[in-house]
A and B are shown apart, each in its own frame.
Chain A
């Protein structure tokens, strides 16, 4: 289905930091652009000076606060992408209107809501390994009787691979059944069938030589890719793993040992790290996109804690900058804009580092913070048909739009999208390192390190950029390199931004 032509929107253009473009926080290029837009507002016939590259034919300047300060402009979302690629240090913020917080009236659905029925009957199913038929422990089994309304029952398999589901009957029509393995297996999706008590399901073991989406897009990665580049992973920590070498890091969780930057047990950060920097060789190991980077772990999720504090995240970004990380991977986000994280991202930009952040997995909702921050590089999750088994859960993530360049590519149904998206990356069915082995995971959390790895690989070939003084001009140069090197797939800018780094 062709993407609808988006309407013209209003945006505020801001210098890299503060409200006026003053060095060292804004580059001369950003200042020149803002000064010219002020002149352009006074006299639209004035010609831009040499070096100022603005899409003037597609934009309209409506107002200006200072000569070198904020500008109110009007343009189409696709022009935002062009502008961002030319001036990565320019913050491009959608205009937001606030309204009185009037409580909404109760709708019909709420008025008709009934007390939920008591679900008495349960049925038990068993999950087995495809390699040897042993039980799979700790697998999450999610059975939807109606996927659209997310109605159903869920549970986790015990030591015998068994789980009881409160479906109210011993036999039930199922819309979708998801079985998510912790590690070692592809997760399973089964649609439109009758689930009966005593049924067994078999999970396919991970074959490390399988060509998943990451290896399809980035085949034959040389062991030297990413050399000379330092990458910080701000996440759950990184576990000791034969395919990973960790150069250093810090645990920024208050109350825990700063030197304990290993994985907190969730495995998320270890998976993210492997996508960037794993240096194994299939079939005994896996390889990331930039195996020669210097990898740093900054743990922000505490042990046994479901959330990371904004203090720990801001402190981790500061620490990554102090460790001279060129790229800082944030596969996390959600919630309101946070000024501590925002300030840390701006300070990182001023110190020559850039933050690459996950758009979020809220099913096509607006890009979440901190990816939505104008100084972040926001990443959506790309999927590709044929890079996962036919019964894998990834099959449930296929959704339009499909790429005009190759209709097997799609932006996953779970990915957040919007004009803030800068790049896309493979994030559907990615095999990577996990504590104690390997796992397949999906998400913008996986797409982000794929983009970070590709960025490191590209940056590693550009000594002229790497050697620049660590200031705002350097981070602008890195961001510009990434945004101008990406190739669009034909998915639309609000879905893929500038496209995919090759």
Chain B
């Protein structure tokens, strides 16, 4: 199941009952709640969206990854001509 980020951007701070409500949803695991604005959850997306309709201030964002920057030149394909140009 994909992971989702729930970020709170409403007035005031996160209400604990909101977090409790999400954690009590079926087939839902809270993977991280150590942030004061976000939680990371493993849950069905449609179910989360339905729950958030009654919890204003929260946004639902799929978890994604960013690769480590690497500017080194990369080979995209093998040499076109594999014939020996010298001794073998």
| B interface with A by C-beta (< 8 Å) | 3, 5, 7, 9, 31-32, 34-38, 40, 59, 61, 63-88
Contacts and interface: CB of A to CB of B under 8 A. Distances in A.
B79 A153 contact: yes
A152 B87 CA distance: 19
A233 interface: no
Given A142-B75, A343-B7, A196 B86 contact: yes
Q: Which of B65, B82, B87 has the most CB of A within 10 A?
A: B65
Majority secondary structure, A binding face: mixed
B84 to A, nearest CB: 4
21 contacts: A116-B78, A117-B78, A121-B88, A150-B73, A150-B75, A151-B76, A166-B78, A169-B83, A170-B84, A178-B72, A301-B68, A310-B61, A311-B38, A331-B69, A332-B68, A332-B69, A333-B66, A340-B7, A343-B9, A396-B73, A445-B71
A268 B68 contact: yes
Given A254-B32, A343-B59, A306 B37 contact: no
A75 to B, nearest CB: 30
A171 B80 contact: no
Contacts of B59: 339, 343
Interface in A426-452: 442-445
A167 B86 CA distance: 12
Contact of B69 (A116, A146, A333): A333
Given A150-B75, A169-B86, A443-B69, A145 B32 contact: no
A172 B83 CA distance: 9
Nearest to A442: B71
Interface residues of A, number: 68
Given A167-B79, A347-B37, A144 B69 contact: no
Majority secondary structure, B binding face: loop
Interface in A111-132: 116-121
A310 B64 CA distance: 6
A41 interface: no
A120 B81 CA distance: 11
A152 B75 contact: yes
B68 A236 contact: yes
A121 B82 contact: yes
Contact of B65 (A117, A309, A331): A309
Contact of A307 (B7, B65, B74, B83): B65
Interface in A326-340: 331-336, 338-340
**Which 6 pairs show the lowest CB-CB distances between chains A and B?**
A171-B86, A168-B82, A307-B65, A150-B76, A361-B71, A169-B84
Given A318-B38, A334-B66, 8 more contacts: A144-B75, A178-B73, A194-B85, A310-B5, A310-B63, A314-B38, A318-B35, A333-B69
